[in-house]
Structure 1
Amino acid sequence: MNTILKFSKLILILFLGLFFSLTVKAQNYSDAYVNYMSGLENYVQNDLYGKVSEVLYDVEDAPSKEDFISFVKEIQKEMNQFHLDNAGDLMEDEKSEAASFTHTMLVQLGELYLDRAQEMEVEDRLIFLKEYLSETNLDQEIKSLTDDLARSLMMAMHSAMKIPFGMPNDDIAVQIQSISGNQGELLAASNILNDMLMLSGSYEDSEMAVSDFSKNYTNSTHLANLKEGLVSLEKLKTGSVVEDFSFVNLEGEKVNLSDYKDKVIYLDLWASWCGPCINTFKTKTPDFEKQLREHEDIVLMYVSVDDQQAPWKNYLDKNPMRGVHAYAGQGFEADIMKYFKVWGIPRYLIIGKDNKLFNANAPRPGDEAVAALLEAKGE
């Protein structure tokens, strides 16, 4: 049942993301493209979902990898035929985007199989993924990476290696380095782009990764996507002046980052509904605060992204903490969350004096964070 729900969620997220994009940028899309995607959505909901459920979930055991790949190749034929029948009036960039959307769906189908076939050992799972990309010709067809496509490829890679997605793990990069040819190139580019999307490291880390990729794959068609990704991260270079975000404090007064430009800020993005955030407050934060109590030029700033102020205030009323408490609201749609590419909380940042970015992905409260803060203030 959980896997069925996962399939529904994957397709829902895919289409919600797409149609949110269409709504926001409606002026950039033709009516033909909107109709095309509506037709594809109808196919997924009324045809594909039932077929996938029958093959993967309405059976006691997962099908063999050969049978599932054969099944997906039939689905691929249907999607290709849909494209031939409906893409004639699309502009060239819309055709490319439609193809990327189809590629993303096919990659997600492969990831669903890996999720269903939990009994498979990692070695066999990796073999399946390589064969899947080869048999569906995705490793040849994918010439340009969208954010969703790169993320889906990395979700599949994580699933193949039974590593939770979103958890930093060098094993993924090491495994990708062992894969040659088009697949190695595709997965390496996807890994770099996904790291940029999730801000797994610093701007400098991404810059070095793109540089290494360009040396290994000089003529790669994915270089354009990676360079675009780097441009989107330029504001997060170490030493860049952070935008002067405004919040509301517990008294309802306006609070700006620039109010603390003469201090080093340890910025903690959290919400009252976030279990790991609350657990850190209870287990790590008290000692962390004590270690920094004598450092008057270091301020601990806790910014809540709760949708409403009441839960934020109620939590702090019952669990008072030192430091500066501010409210941003809007969850992951908050401007500061988008600015720092925050995909999960808690998230910690260190902003140096004069509001210059020191670390966009700082250590969680503890000795390592204390050391980083002291370094940020020049000690």
Structure 2
Amino acid sequence: MKIYLYTCALVFILASCVKEQRNDFIILQGKVLNKKSNTLRLSSLCYSYSHDIPLNEDGTFVDTIRTKADNLMLYYGGHLTYMYLESGDDIHLTFDVKDYNNTVTFTGAGAAYNNYLLQKRKRVSEVLSDVKNIYLLNEVDFKETQKKLESELLKLLKNTKYFPATYIEKEKRNIKYYTLNNLNKYQVNHIYQTKNNDFRVSDAFLKELEEIAYNNGEDYIFSYDYSSLVDSYCQQQAREISASLNIDEDVAYLKAVNMLSNQKIKNIICYKKAKNGITYTADVENYYAEYIKGSTNEVNNKEITKNYNALKIVAKGKPSPEFTDYENFDNSTTSLSDLKGKYLYIDVWATWCGPCKREIPFLKKIESRYHDKNIEFVSISIDNPEDRNKWRQMVEKENLGGVQLLADNAFNSKFVQDYLIKGIPRFILLDPQGNIVMANAPRPSDDKLIALLATLSL
């Protein structure tokens, strides 16, 4: 009997230890039936967090996530699943790619939240089933539809049992934010759908947005729609600041964020914007100054400061980083030093990049306009070396002019890394001595490029 009691006590202690050890992470596992690709993409709706979960040959997967709680999006093969995970959850997810919407299933600890989110999405679809395009509705009908959606979602939440009171209260606010965010997006989407650029909502349409306080850190983390409303508010403030102070809008945006009082929100927004945004700004000094003023997160600050210091190397007036012996479309090789003596407008692009290809007609017009001036137009493709045929075919098909080069190691090419390029297209302007005029020059489609070129001695 003593041995039995001792064994039970030991089992209880071990079980308690396992529970305590698991308390700071989440296990997400499951199986994808009829898989088409070998990875799932998991992205946070709040934080700058995204990673791929590999699938085994039989479609099974398991992943460990270290976070207290988070709303996430799970992408696979064009399908999207919204999830809410908390520390200690052990979620099992399965779905069949051939019948995704009818086969998504959650089981295990934490499944209740995620099954609720599935029902929530279905309820929205049911309410909108008779509406062909919600953004074609007039504003009265649109608002009425949003109120109906809000009522139905609150009813669904009320009928969903056993949720903690704290979750229910946050979700009630989240549903309200969902309505307000849809109202906030109506004007721009109605203009896009109707092609009526003169349309403006009535003064009373957005009156409810005046009730929003933009400093609720708990809601910012929990509700994507609240975070979207905060972002929209900061964008509006940024436009006003930019106009009044005559500063770039990306710097003005961080100034607007710094006007918020909630430090948690400021830390998240500043980092999300600056992680890539600092590599795009035309005013890196003031951009960094506003970032560092707003962020108190030491880990994030260390990363952004490292990027800032790297960008100072490619500041205006500094010698440009070099590239050597890049493959030229004419079958020769070209180095940056070969091109000195003229201004250089460098386009970093790739054949797979949609925004890059949209700039091609504008680039051709710029090249034609300045064909007899002291400026050379250089396009550097960062297609993978094994895709050189795709690059050559596009250059030929589009009849691309200027100097057409293929970088030596795609995104990992030293020239690309030296400029801290995180996304394309990217345009760089150099003077005849090879010094940087602008490391983030305006795109060909931007009227600011013509204004910039007008200041040069071409």
Same fold (TM over 0.5): yes
- State the shift of 1:162 in Å: 9.1
Which of 1 and 2 has higher RCO (CA within 8 Å, sep 6+)?
Answer: 1
- Alpha-carbon distance in structure 1 between the residues aligned to 2:118 and 2:179: 8
Letter in 1 for 2:314: L
Show the counterpart of 1:345.
424
Kept after mapping to 2: 8 A contact 1:173/1:191: no
- State the shift of 1:249 in Å: 0.5
- State the shift of 1:229 in Å: 3.7
Alpha carbons of structure 1 residues 202 and 169: separation in structure 2 relative to 1, 3 Å: closer
Is 1:54 aligned with 2:115? yes
Where in structure 2 are the equivalents of 1:160-199 lying within 5 Å? Answer: 160-161=231-232, 172-173=253-254, 175-183=256-264, 185-186=266-267, 189-190=270-271, 193-194=274-275, 196-199=277-280
Alpha carbons of structure 1 residues 174 and 205: separation in structure 2 relative to 1, 3 Å: closer
Q: List gaps (5 residues or longer) in structure 2.
A: 1-39, 55-61, 68-84, 94-105, 125-149, 168-172, 186-207, 236-247
Letter in 2 for 1:272: T
- Alpha-carbon distance in structure 1 between the residues aligned to 2:92 and 2:320: 46
Where in structure 2 are the equivalents of 1:98-109 lying within 5 Å? Answer: none
Choose from 362, 377, 381 the match for 1:304.
381
Choose from 200, 204, 208 the match for 2:281.
200
- Alpha-carbon distance in structure 2 between the residues aligned to 1:126 and 1:53: 30
Show the counterpart of 2:65.
40
Over 6 Å off, 4+ runs:
41-45, 70-74, 113-117
Choose from 351, 354, 357 the match for 2:433.
354
Kept after mapping to 1: 8 A contact 2:43/2:51: no
TM-score by length of 1: 0.59
Where in structure 2 are the equivalents of 1:1-379 lying within 5 Å? Answer: 8-10=41-43, 14=49, 16=51, 39-40=64-65, 47=91, 50=106, 51=111, 53-59=114-120, 60-61=123-124, 119=182, 121=184, 127=212, 130-131=215-216, 133-134=217-218, 156-157=227-228, 160-161=231-232, 172-173=253-254, 175-183=256-264, 185-186=266-267, 189-190=270-271, 193-194=274-275, 196-210=277-291, 213-214=292-293, 224=302, 226-246=304-324, 247-282=326-361, 284-295=362-373, 297-307=374-384, 308-328=387-407, 331-365=410-444, 368-375=448-455, 377-378=456-457
In the TM superposition, what whole-angstrom CA distance separates every residue of 1:34-81 from its partner, at most 9, and x where no partner exists? xxx9633799996287446423233214866x999x87977xxxxxxx
Which stretch shifts more, 38-47 or 248-257? Answer: 38-47
- Percent identity, please: 16
- State the shift of 1:358 in Å: 1.2
Kept after mapping to 2: 8 A contact 1:351/1:357: yes
- Alpha-carbon distance in structure 1 between the residues aligned to 2:178 and 2:313: 37
In the TM superposition, what whole-angstrom CA distance separates every residue of 1:319-365 from its partner, at most 9, and x where no partner exists? 22321010116554443333323333222111222321111111112
Alpha carbons of structure 1 residues 317 and 361: separation in structure 2 relative to 1, 3 Å: same
SS in 1 for 2:415: helix
- State the shift of 1:368 in Å: 3.0
In the TM superposition, what whole-angstrom CA distance separates every residue of 1:222-267 from its partner, at most 9, and x where no partner exists? 7655533422322221112222113210133321112112221100
In the TM superposition, what whole-angstrom CA distance separates every residue of 1:57-115 from its partner, at most 9, and x where no partner exists? 33214866x999x87977xxxxxxxxxxxxxxxxxxxxxxxxxxxxxxxxxxx99x988
Letter in 2 for 1:299: E
Kept after mapping to 1: 8 A contact 2:319/2:436: yes
Kept after mapping to 2: 8 A contact 1:126/1:160: no
- Alpha-carbon distance in structure 2 between the residues aligned to 1:71 and 1:305: 51
Kept after mapping to 2: 8 A contact 1:304/1:329: no
Show the counterpart of 2:15.
none
- Alpha-carbon distance in structure 2 between the residues aligned to 1:174 and 1:351: 30
Show the counterpart of 1:32.
none
Calculate the aligned-residue CA RMSD, in Å: 4.8
- Alpha-carbon distance in structure 2 between the residues aligned to 1:313 and 1:276: 19
Q: List gaps (5 residues or longer) in structure 1.
A: 1-6, 20-36, 75-109, 140-152
Letter in 1 for 2:432: K
- Alpha-carbon distance in structure 2 between the residues aligned to 1:126 and 1:198: 36
Tell me which protein shows more helix as a share of its residues: 1
In the TM superposition, what whole-angstrom CA distance separates every residue of 1:185-205 from its partner, at most 9, and x where no partner exists? 425643663365442333333
- Alpha-carbon distance in structure 1 between the residues aligned to 2:117 and 2:356: 36
TM-score by length of 2: 0.50
Alpha carbons of structure 1 residues 71 and 286: separation in structure 2 relative to 1, 3 Å: farther
- Alpha-carbon distance in structure 2 between the residues aligned to 1:198 and 1:128: 31
Tell me which protein shows more strand as a share of its residues: 2
Alpha carbons of structure 1 residues 126 and 350: separation in structure 2 relative to 1, 3 Å: farther
